[in-house]
Amino acid sequence: MISSMICTPKRFAPHVTLLGFLVLPLGSAVFAHHGWSSYDQSHLLTHTGVVKTSSYEQPHGFVVLESQGRSLKVILAPPFRMESRGLSKEAIAPGREVTIQGYALRSSADELRAERITAGGKTVELR
């Protein structure tokens, strides 16, 4: 009776495989998203420039901003938050001029986390 309750490798393998398929996608999402603490919140930066590329997708939108002769990747808010606060996809389309206030990534000054963005004369709080 007891021996029938012990998990043998053959009985255990399908459960481990299923668990792996369920957890694997979560692991890659966790590693792809770094926490906000990796940004230097002691120095608020302001950059004005032209949007080179933009994304209005989950988990966060972003723009690549050409500012002061360099390209900056700027992490924005999730699309639902930007939309609800009045920042449309068209407002951050390539070619648009925007001003962004945010914090630089501690490990790279070429990436910012945006706190607010001014596009088309309208300022939107993103956090």
Residue 70 and residue 52: Cα distance in Å, rounded? 11
The pLDDT, as a whole number, for residue 108 is 92
Q: Is the pLDDT of residue 110 over 90?
A: yes
CA 26 → CA 21, 23, 29, distances in Å? 10, 5, 5
Fold assignment, 36-125: OB fold (Dihydrolipoamide Acetyltransferase, E2P) (2.40.50)
pTM over 0.75: no
Beta bridge mates, 93: none
Work out the pLDDT band at 122, boundaries 50, 70, 90: very high
Please classify residue 118 by burial: count the beta carbons closer than 10 Å to its beta carbon, then call 0-12 exposed, 13-18 middle and 19+ buried: middle
pLDDT tens for 28-83 read 444 445 577 899 999 999 999 999 999 998 999 999 999 999 999 999 999 999 99
Give the C-alpha separation, 61 to 20, whole Å: 29
pLDDT of residue 25: 52
How high is the pLDDT of residue 20?
A: 52
How would you classify residue 69: left for phi > 0, otherwise alpha for psi between -120 and 50, otherwise beta? left
Overall average pLDDT of the 8-19 stretch: 54
